[in-house]
């Protein structure tokens, strides 16, 4: 059976203690990830320890932002194989989670994971961020929006900020070297009603990899004209 020893060991370095039932869920999640990855492309990361560190552990680093202390509604944009949304849900059941991705086969995978892991209060959406950001059921309805490895911060801000309530936050998971990307996104963040709050650098335990969490606070409602139609944010970033 697949193990998650590396995850358990390194989570302690991040001051995260995993319960037995969480560990069982991560084991099952990894089995399903490896099984489905043989049929459809979900992730290029296939090694056991790498899955533990680069997917599971990397995802749960967000828990130390201090934004997860109460019951929250969270949307993960361009979630792919469920990262970072699903690992966060596994360790914190207080999250009411929406996973959104434009690729249906990844959504089918996520539906199976959610069912096999018996997770409650998780919804999957097959669609584009630009379309759902205009939908009244989702627009400005979330305390937190997350995203990893989807687009540059200017484009990503237009995908994510429309979902965030005023007073809520968008957390972008980025690499270490983020200053120029952040500068290029200043206009988009402001235009969409956001304000850069802080950058948290995180060294991924067991590696030399440093990641940054970019935290953007929503301070004003997003104007109705945003997000622009699908494809536009990427073609012509704000």
Residues that bind ligand SAM in the complex, under the rule CB under 6 A: 78-81, 83, 100-103, 106, 128-130, 148-150, 159
Q: How far is the CB of 105 from ligand SAM (least distance, A)?
A: 10
Q: How far is the CB of 20 from ligand SAM (least distance, A)?
A: 26
Is 20 or 235 the residue whose CB approaches ligand SAM more closely? 235
Beta-strand (E) ranges in 80-209? 95-101, 122-126, 142-148, 164-175, 194-203
Is 105 or 219 the residue whose CB approaches ligand SAM more closely? 105
Interhelix angle 20-37/104-116, nearest 10 degrees: 150
Is 19 or 169 the residue whose CB approaches ligand SAM more closely? 169
Which residues are CB-contacts of 99 (< 8 A; sequence separation ≥ 6)? 75, 76, 79, 82, 85, 86, 107, 110, 122, 123, 124, 125
If we measure between CA atoms, which residue out of 217, 107, 206, 108 comes closest to residue 157?
A: 217
The verdict on whether residue 130 carries a ligand-binding annotation is yes
Q: CA 20, CA 16: separation in Å to the nearest integer?
A: 13
The rounded Cα 1 to chain-centroid distance in angstroms is: 27
Is 71 or 213 the residue whose CB approaches ligand SAM more closely? 213
* 3 token code pair: 């193990």
Q: How far is the CB of 232 from ligand SAM (least distance, A)?
A: 10
Residue 147, phi-psi category: left (phi > 0), alpha (psi -120 to 50), beta (remainder):
beta
CB 57 within 8 A of CB 4: no
Element (H, E) at 83: none
Q: Which residue is nearest to ligand SAM (CB)?
A: 80
Q: How far is the CB of 155 from ligand SAM (least distance, A)?
A: 9
Q: How far is the CB of 83 from ligand SAM (least distance, A)?
A: 4
Is 71 or 231 the residue whose CB approaches ligand SAM more closely? 231
The verdict on whether residue 170 carries a ligand-binding annotation is no
Q: Which residue has the tokens 């934004």?
A: 67
Q: How far is the CB of 215 from ligand SAM (least distance, A)?
A: 17
The verdict on whether residue 193 carries a ligand-binding annotation is no
Helix (H, G, I), strand (E, B), or coil: what is residue 23? helix
Q: CA 58, CA 32: separation in Å to the nearest integer?
A: 19
Bridge partners (DSSP) listed for residue 77: 100
Is 149 or 166 the residue whose CB approaches ligand SAM more closely? 149
Residues making up the annotated binding site are: 78, 83, 129-130, 148
Residue list, annotated binding site for S-adenosyl-L-methionine: 78, 83, 129-130, 148
């Amino acid at each position: 059976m697949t193990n998650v020893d590396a995850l358990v060991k390194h989570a302690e370095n991040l001051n995260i203690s995993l319960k037995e039932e969480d560990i069982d869920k991560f084991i099952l999640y990894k089995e399903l990830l490896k099984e489905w990855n043989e049929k459809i492309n979900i992730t290029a990361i296939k090694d056991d320890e790498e899955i533990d560190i680069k997917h599971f552990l990397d995802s749960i680093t967000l828990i130390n932002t201090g934004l997860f202390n109460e019951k929250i509604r969270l949307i993960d944009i361009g979630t792919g194989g469920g990262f970072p949304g699903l690992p966060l849900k596994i360790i914190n059941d207080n999250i009411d989670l929406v996973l959104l991705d434009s690729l249906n086969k990844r959504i089918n995978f996520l539906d199976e994971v959610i069912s096999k892991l018996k997770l409650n209060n998780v919804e999957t959406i097959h669609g584009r961020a630009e379309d759902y950001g205009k939908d009244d059921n989702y627009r400005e309805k979330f305390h937190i929006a997350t995203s990893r490895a989807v687009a540059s911060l200017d484009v990503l801000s237009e995908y994510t900020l429309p979902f965030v309530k005023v007073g809520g936050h968008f957390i972008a998971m980025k690499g270490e070297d983020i200053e120029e990307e952040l500068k290029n996104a200043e206009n988009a963040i402001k235009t969409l009603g956001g304000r850069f709050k802080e950058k948290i650098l995180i060294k991924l335990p067991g590696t030399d990899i440093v990641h940054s969490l970019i935290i953007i606070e929503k301070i004003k409602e997003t104007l109705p004209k945003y997000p622009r139609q699908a494809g536009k944010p990427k073609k012509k970033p704000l």
